[in-house]
Structure 1
Amino acid sequence: MAADNKHKDEENVAVRRADGESRSLAASLPRLVLEARRIAANVIHGLHGRRRAGAGESFWQYRRFVSGEPAQRVDWRRSGRDDHLYVREQEWEAAHTVWIWPDRSPSMAFASRDARDSKLERGLIVAFALAELLVAGGERVGIPGLMNPTGSRAVIDKMAQAMLHDDKTRASLPPSFVPSSLAEIVVLSDFWSPIAEITAMLGGLASSGAHGTLIQVVDPAEETFPYSGRVEFVEPEIGSVITAGRAESWTTDYVARVALHRDQIRAETNRLDWLFSTHTTSRSAAELLLFLHAGMMVNKGGGRTTVKAGRSA
C-alpha cells in the first residue's frame, strides 16, 4: 500500500508540474513577444511581401498617365494639382490568409537541459515572429478556432491576447475547419499524436485545396533519448507514468519508432503536396523563421513552392 501511495504521489507531482508549466504561459508571454519581435526585426529588412499594382479595392499609388490608356483612368483631382496627368492604381489583392497553429498542449512544456527554450516557448516565438513578417508583407494571419484573420500591424498583441483569454482545453492539433483554397496553414507541434489523428487532420485541412507546412518541434532529448538506469517517464497529456529499469535498453527501439512515425507523416504530406520538416529547440529560432518565410515567398504569385525537406533547423 505504501508503495502504491508513493507511486500515486509521484504521478500527481509530475502531472501538477506539467500543468503548472503550461499555466505559466501567461507569465512568460511578454518575454516571448519581445523575443519574437526581436527576431522578426532582424530578418524583416529586405524581405518583401506580395503586394503589387493590379485589380483590387485598396489604393496603392499614383503614377503618370501613359499615352494610349483609356481617359477614364485619369484621376482628375490629383492631376489638377500640377501639369501632369495621373492614374490612381489599386492594390493587387494577392494577400491571402495564413493560418498559424502553435501547439500549446501540456507536452509542449517539456525542456531538457540542452534546449534553448521549451517546445511551447519555441513554437510561440516562431508563430509570433512569422505573423509579424507575413503582415508586414501584406498577408492576413489567423489562428484556427481562436483568432479571426487580421492584417493588423498589432497582430502579435492580438495573438497573445487571444491565447490569454482562451479557456478551452489546449489541443495538440488544430480544430477541424475548411480553409479557402488560397489559404496557407502552418502547424507547429511536436506531433506525438497518433498517426491516425494526424492523417485525419491533414485530410480535412487539405480537402479544399489549401496548402500547408507541418513543423515538428522537438527537444534534443526526444531526438537522442539520452537516458540510462531507472527512469520514470510521465505522459503529460493524461498523466500516465512508465518506469524503465534500464532506460538505455530502450534507445534503439525508441529511435526506430520515431523514424517510422516521421516517415508516416512525411508520406501523407508528400501525397497532399504539403511540406513536413523538423526543428530541434537546441537550434536557432531565427533559422526556422527564415525557412518558413522563404518557403512561402518563393512563388510570389501565390504558387506553391516545390522545395521538400526532411529537416529544417
Structure 2
Amino acid sequence: MTTALTLRSQAETLAAHLPPLLAEAEHLAATVLLGDHGRRRAGTGDTFWQYRPAQTHDAARSIDWRRSARSDARFVQDKEWQIAQSVILWVDQGASMGFASDDHATKGDRARILAMALAVLLIRGGERVGLTGLRLPPRRGGAQLQQMAQILSEQAATDHGSPDATGLLPHARALFVSDFLGNIDGVRDALARAADRGVKGALLQVLDPQEEVFPFDGRTIFQSMTGSVQHETLRARDLKSRYLDRLAARKVELAQLARMTGWQFHTHHTGQSATQALLWLYGALERRR
C-alpha cells in the first residue's frame, strides 16, 4: 500500500507541472504569429499556396488556364511543400539547469518552455518532433506534446547533462539546449555523431544573467546544485577575470564546434525575451544547406 501511495504521489507531483508547461509553451508559440503554415514554401504537395507567373520551363499541363484567362499572362499554381521533416530535441535536465538569480526563471524552466514552444510550432506546421534517445521517436499530434512535456519535466541526478545523440535520424534536424557549462566532450561527440548522419541543427546555450557578470566579492562559498562540488574563497573578486575568460572561451569553442558541423549557435539569457529566442530557434532550424 505504501508503494502504491508513493507512486501515486510522485505521479501527481509530476503531472502538476504539465498543464502550466504546455499552456506557457502554447502561449509563447502564439506570440511569434507564424500561423498554421509558418513553414510554407513551394514544393511537392497537394495544397495550393500561391499563383506565380509561368516560366519557360513550366509544362503546358501545369498552367492554370482559368486564372490565366483573366489576364494576358499565364499563371501556375505553386503547391505547398509537404514533405514532413523530423526534428529531434535534447534538453539538459541536469541539476545545474535549476539555477536562477533574483526573480528570473530557472535555466531549466526557460529551456523547457522554449523547446516545447518550438515543438508546438513545428507540429503545427506538419513536422514530426521527438526527443533524442529511444523514449519518444518523432511523431505529430497533441499526444506527442503531452508525452514530451512529461519527459522534459524529469530531472537528472547529475550536475550537468550530456547531449544524447542516439535516435538521431539521418538528415533530420536537431536542437540541443543546455547551459553547456559541464564537460564539453559530450557535446563534441554528439555533434560528430550527428554530422555522420547528415543531421544539422542548433545549439542554444541558456545562461542566467548572474553567470555573465560574476557579481561576487569577498568571502563566498560556491556550491554545485547537487552539492557534490564546493569551493570557498575569501576574495571572490580575484576569480572574476579568470571565470569570465573561461566562459568566453567556452562560447568560442561551442561556436566553432557548431560551425564545423554545419550547426547554428546562440546564447540566450533568462533575463531576455523568450520570444526572441524562439524566433531564433525557428529560423535556425528553418535554414537548409
Q: TM tier, shorter chain?
A: 0.7 to 0.9
Q: Does residue 147 of structure 2 align to residue 122 of structure 1?
A: no
Is the 2:129–2:140 Cα contact (8 Å) retained in structure 1?
yes
Shift of 1:60: 4.4
1:216 equivalent in structure 2: 205
Aligned equivalents of 1:168 and 1:215: distance in 2? 19
Any idea what SS the aligned residue of 1:111 has? coil
Q: 2:97 aligns with which of 90, 108, 113?
A: 108
State the 1:195 CA deviation: 2.4
CA distance in 1 between counterparts of 2:221 and 2:277 reads 32
Is 1:254 the counterpart of 2:251? The answer is: no
The one-letter code sitting in structure 2 at the alignment partner of 1:54 is T
Q: Would you say the 8 A contact 2:132–2:167 is kept in 1?
A: no
In the alignment of these two chains, the number of paired residues is 252
In 1: Cα distance, 2:247 partner to 2:155 partner = 32
2:269 alignment counterpart: 280
Contact 1:53–1:60 (Cα < 8 Å) also in 2: no
Out of 190, 194, 214, the position equivalent to 1:225 is 214
Per the TM alignment, residue 241 of structure 1 is displaced from its structure 2 partner at its CA by 1.0
> Residue 114 and residue 249 in structure 1: after superposition, are their counterparts in 2 closer, same or farther (change >3 A)?
farther
SS at match of 1:123: helix
Displacement of 1:139 in angstroms is 0.8
Does residue 1:134 correspond to 2:122, yes or no? Answer: yes
Deviations 1:231-283 (A, max 9, x none): 11112356121112111111111000111111112111111121111000011
C-alpha separation between the residues in 2 aligned to 1:295 and 1:132? 16
Change in CA separation of 1:246 and 1:94 when aligned onto 2, cut-off 3 Å: same
- Cα distance in 1, alignment partners of residues 278 and 215 from structure 2: 28
Letter aligned with residue 132 of structure 2: P
- Map Cα deviations across residues 93-139 of structure 1 (whole Å, 9 max, x no partner): 42111111111111100000052x10010001101100000111111
**Which ranges in structure 2 are unaligned for 5 or more consecutive residues?**
1-12, 49-58, 63-77
Of 86, 90, 110, which aligns to 1:97?
86
CA distance in 1, matches of 2:103, 2:185: 31
For the 8 Å contact 1:189–1:217, the answer to whether it is kept is yes
Farther off after superposition, 146-155 or 226-235: 146-155
**Contact conserved, 1:100 with 1:186, CA < 8 A, in 2?**
yes
> Is residue 2:39 matched to residue 1:49?
yes
C-alpha separation between the residues in 2 aligned to 1:195 and 1:209?
21
Cα pair 2:100 2:208 within 8 Å, conserved: yes
Distance 2:200 2:40 in 1: 17
Give the Cα separation in 1 of the matches to 2:84 and 2:112: 23
Counterparts of 1:60 and 1:114, CA distance in 2 = 46
For the residues of structure 2 that align with 1:211 and 1:45, how far apart are their CA atoms?
Answer: 22
Give 2:181's match in structure 1, choosing from 179, 192, 199.
192
Distance 1:114 1:224, change over 3 A: farther
Q: Which moves more between the two structures, 27-36 or 251-260?
A: 27-36
Structure 1 vs Structure 2 CA RMSD: 3.0
- Counterpart Cα distance in 2 of 1:243 and 1:250: 11
The alpha-carbon deviation at position 44 of structure 1 amounts to 3.5
Distance in 2, matches of 1:27 and 1:253, equals: 41
Residues 227 and 25 (structure 1), Cα distance of their counterparts in 2 relative to 1, 3 Å cut: farther
Which amino acid is the alignment partner of residue 131 of structure 1? Answer: A
Alignment of 1:288-303 (within 5 A): 288-297=277-286, 299=287, 303=288
Whole-Å separation in 2 of the counterparts to 1:158 and 1:288: 23
The residue number in structure 1 matching 2:71 is none
Length-normalised TM-score, structure 1: 0.71
Kindly provide the amino acid, as one letter, of the partner of residue 119 in structure 1.
Answer: K
Q: 1:249 to 1:25 in 2, by over 3 A?
A: farther
Give the distance between the partners of 2:238 and 2:277, measured in 1 at CA. 33
Q: Which is further off, 237-246 or 130-139? A: 237-246
- Of the three residues 213, 225, 228, the one matched with 1:236 is 225
**Does the Cα contact within 8 Å between 1:99 and 1:186 map onto a contact in 2?**
yes
TM-aligned CA distance change 1:245 to 1:273, over 3 Å: same
